Amino acid sequence: MDVAIVGAGIVGLTTARAIASRRPDLRIALLEKEATVARHQTGSNSGVIHSGIYYKPGSLKAQLTVRGKAELEQFCADHGVPYERCGKVIVATRPEELPQLDMLAKRAADNGVPAERIGVERLRELEPHAAGLGALHVTSTGIVDYPVLCDWLADELEAADHEIRLHTAVTGIAEEDGQVVVATEGDYVTAKVLINCAGLHSDRMANLTPSSRTDIRIMPFRGEYYSLVPARRNLVNNLIYPVPDSRFPFLGVHFTRMVKGGVEAGPNAVPALAREGYRWGDIDRRDLAEILTARSSHILARNYWRTGLGEIHRSLSKRAFVTALQALVPDVRSEDLIRTGAGVRAQAIGPDGALLDDFAFAETARQIHVVNAPSPAATASFAIGRVIADKALERLG
C-alpha cells in the first residue's frame, strides 16, 4: 500500500478522496473497525453544514470551514446528495446577549460569512415561534445527511479500486525499514504513509509509536437529542440556536430541522463514561480510569464544574432540558419531545486541561495524526482532507 488511513468517518474518507484525486496511481486502504463507514461522530451528528461564523479569524477552523463547506455543497450538487441551504437564526433571549450578537456579527464579517443582524419582527417572519430580543440571520448555513454523503464517498473510492476494509480494527503501528507496519486483529498492512483519522481513538493511535506520542488527550463529550413529535414540527421552520457561551466549544442546545425530515432538539454536552459511551450505562473501565486519573481532567473539572453540573442536570432531567429549549421556543412542551439518540464528540484537551479549540495534527516522517477534529469538522472535511493530502504527498515525493 502507498497510504493506509485508520478510520472511515468523513475525515478519513475525504482525505482518501483528496489524495486519490491528485494521485490516482497511489494505492490507498482505509481500515475501519466497524461494519459500515460513518458509524461514530459522523453518523450521529446534527447534520448541519456550518457557515464558519463562530471561529477565531485566521484559525484553521475559520479557514477550512468556509472552504470545506463550498466543496461539500459542490459534491452534493454533483452527486445528487440531498442538502439544503436553509439558513439559521442565532437568538438573543436576554439583554446581556445582545452585545454578544454584535460581536458574532463582526466575527462573521471577519470570516467572510454573510450574516444579518435582525430585529424581533424579522425573527417572527423567519421563525414565528421563536422568542428573542434580536437575532443574527445566517443565510448560508445548511443541512445534509452526512452518512448518505459518506456512502457516496466510499462508493467513489471503491470504484477507483481503493480498499475500504471494514471490521478491521488497528491494534498496533510500527515504523520498520522505511515503511509503516499497521497491525490489525490477526493481520497487518504495510504502507509508505499512515494517516490516523480515528476520531474518538485518535490519541491512542498516535501513542502507538514513540515518535508520534502526544500529550493531547481525547475527552469524550456526549451530546443527547430529543425529537419533536410530528404534530409539533411546525414550531420550527429551520435552525434556531442560542447565543453560545464563548468559554465553551459547544453551541448550546438548539433546534435543527433534518434534511431527511423531522426536527431534533439538542445536543447537550455531558462527559461520557466511555469513548463510545452513547448512554449513561455505557461504561468502559479503561476509558473511565484514564478520565478520572488524568491531571488534565482534574483541571478541566475545576474550570468548568458549574457548566458541567448544569449539563449533567439537563441530561438527567427532561424538565431541565425542556426549560433550556423553552428559552428559544416558549411553546414547546415536554410532551412534544421524545428522547432519540446521542453522539459522542472527540474533544481534545491539552496537558494543562485546556479544551483545544482549533483542528490539530501531530506528525512524524511517515505518520500524520489528526488529533483534534471536533465540530465543524464534518462541514470542513473536504478542506481538512486537502490539508492532510498535502502533508501525505509531500512525504511520498
Ligand X SMILES: Cc1cc2nc3c(=O)[nH]c(=O)nc-3n(C[C@H](O)[C@H](O)[C@H](O)COP(=O)(O)OP(=O)(O)OC[C@H]3O[C@@H](n4cnc5c(N)ncnc54)[C@H](O)[C@@H]3O)c2cc1C
Q: Determine the interface stretch with ligand X among 42-50, 97-105, 234-242, 286-294 (rule: CB under 6 A).
A: 42-50
Instruction: Note whether 68 binds ligand X by CB under 6 A.
Output: no
Verify binding: residue 219, ligand X, rule CB under 6 A. no
Q: Are 274 and 200 in contact (CB under 8 A)?
A: no
Per-residue contact track with ligand X, 161 to 180, x per CB under 6 A?
A: --------xx----------
- Of 36-44, 93-101, 109-117, 123-131, the window that binds ligand X (rule: CB under 6 A) is 36-44
The stretch near ligand X (CB under 6 A) out of 5-13, 305-313, 319-327, 349-357 is 5-13
CA distance to 86, 119, 128, per residue, from 125 (Å): 14, 10, 6
The yes or no reply on residue 50 touching ligand X (CB under 6 A) is yes
Residue among 134 and 140 whose Cβ is closer to ligand X = 140
Q: Which three cell numbers stand for residue 282?
A: 455505557
Shortest Cβ distance from residue 31 to ligand X (Å)? 5
Binding test (CB under 6 A) with ligand X, winner from 137, 162, 254, 345 = 345
- Helices 285-293 + 295-316 axis angle, to 10: 120
**Which of these, 245, 231, 258, 363, lies nearest to 304 by C-alpha position?**
245
Closest CB 30 distance from ligand X, rounded Å: 9
Select the residue interacting with ligand X from 17, 192, 201, 369 (CB under 6 A). Answer: 201
CA distance 46 to 342: 10
Alpha helices in 232-293 (DSSP H): 285-293
Q: Which of residues 117-146 bind ligand X (CB under 6 A)?
A: none
Alpha-carbon Rg for the chain in angstroms: 21
DSSP label at residue 247: T
Cα distances (angstroms) measured from residue 214 to each of 181, 184, 295, 377: 19, 22, 15, 21
Q: Which triple of cell numbers denotes residue 97? A: 446577549
In degrees and rounded to multiples of 5, residue 75 shows phi and psi of -60, -45
Q: Which of residues 235-274 bind ligand X (CB under 6 A)?
A: 267
Nearer to ligand X, 122 or 391 (CB): 391
For ligand X, how many residues bind (rule: CB under 6 A)? 40
List residues binding ligand X (CB under 6 A): 6-12, 31-34, 39-42, 44-48, 50, 169-170, 197-201, 223, 267, 343-345, 373-379
